[in-house]
Amino acid sequence: MATVDNKAAFIPKDAIATSPSTSKVESDSALSSRDSSLLPCPGVPLPANFDKLPILSREQISSRICRGELLILHSPLVYRVPHNWLKLHPGGDHALLHYVGRDAGCEIEAYHTGRTVKERMGRWVVGKVEVDESETGEGWRDMTPPIQLGMWPIPVPKITVSEPSSSEDELMESSSEEDEKRSSSRSTKTKTSTPAPHLTPDLVDPPLAKTDYSSLPLTPAYQAHLRRSHRRLHARIHSLGLDTTPSLISGYGPSLAIYATLLSLSIYTYIRAQTSFDYIIAAVCLGAFWHQITFVAHDTGHSELTGSWWADRLWGVAIADFMGGLSIGWWCDNHNVHHRKPDSDLHCPTMSTD
């Protein structure tokens, strides 16, 4: 895996030519001499021990997933996410479970800073994969996450059911006195359902031929093309400085002032109300406040109000939980997955029950 020039690693040529903040990106890339075109997060190098990392085959990865390991790819790297991180992940556990065995490079780069990828996720690297990342290559062919198969957690727990020894018909025909006698002497037996399904590598990585993949509606080659296009777009957005949270004055300041005015008008009108029309005005102002503040709760869930996860989560709790009666934590766990795979009947929580 040869490295390339730092700037070319993550900035398309047109962005370098037109961007007013190219020097900012150059300073980011100068953080390391091992920035790679394979890891285009600004300032993110390949691990220091990259050359010594074991090369994992598809068979090895699928087998380890069947043993319960959370292996997520950021091609060419393979992360093993700790199980205890599932409930701590700011994007929710579904955002991780739906990417087991799949290339999450675009999502990792779009939703995480280079520092997070380098310092936190770098500790989870357990190996690397060799894939064709050229302009005509297929990249990594995604596997099927166990949660998509309905086989999470691993091992799949057995389901037991209890049923009475007497049939329903006999109980219905007996009198109430007979029911009491039978209920005292009736024994209950426990019946175990069919053995729990066993997750196998063939389920995680179906043994399909290349011709089988070419017949799919979304071929691996086209998915790889979409990943490359997404990375070029992400690089340009970063080079233009559009992923930087604006200041309060140029950002949410004016909007928050409007929302505060609507709330104040609603309270003032309600307190001073004398007629039915006054109550209507108070209700309209309160409804407008609730309607507009919902957008703020949405953006706090995306950490776009202040740029700090903790600060935005506290704002989200105050707005969504205490003003709107909605759990911002529940909303984030589902909504973040929705943005990663919008309207996908296999991965999007708004369209599936996983």
CA 143/CA 62 separation, integer angstroms: 8
**What's the confidence (pLDDT) of residue 20?**
40
Report the run of H or E that residue 71 belongs to, with start and end: strand 70-74
Per residue in 150-194, pLDDT (tens digit) is: 898 888 777 666 655 555 555 445 555 555 555 555 444 445 455
Low-confidence ranges of the chain (pLDDT < 70): 1-40, 42-43, 159-196, 336-354
Q: Phi first, then psi: what are they for 105, rounded to 5°?
A: -55, -45
Number of Cβ within 10 Å of residue 289's Cβ equals 21
CA 352/CA 239 separation, integer angstroms: 36
**What's the confidence (pLDDT) of residue 259?**
92
Which neighbouring-strand residues pair with 70?
Answer: 81
Largest CA distance in the chain: 91
**What's the confidence (pLDDT) of residue 228?**
87
Q: Is 65 exposed, middle or buried (0-12, 13-18, 19+ CB in 10 A)?
A: buried
**What's the confidence (pLDDT) of residue 210?**
73
Number of Cβ within 10 Å of residue 253's Cβ equals 11
Per residue in 273-304, pLDDT (tens digit) is: 999 999 999 999 999 999 999 888 888 888 77
Q: 6-150+202-239, what's its fold?
A: Flavocytochrome B2; Chain A, domain 1 (3.10.120)
CATH 3.10.120.10 domain position(s) in the chain: 6-150+202-239
**Residue pointed to by tokens 């021990």:** 49
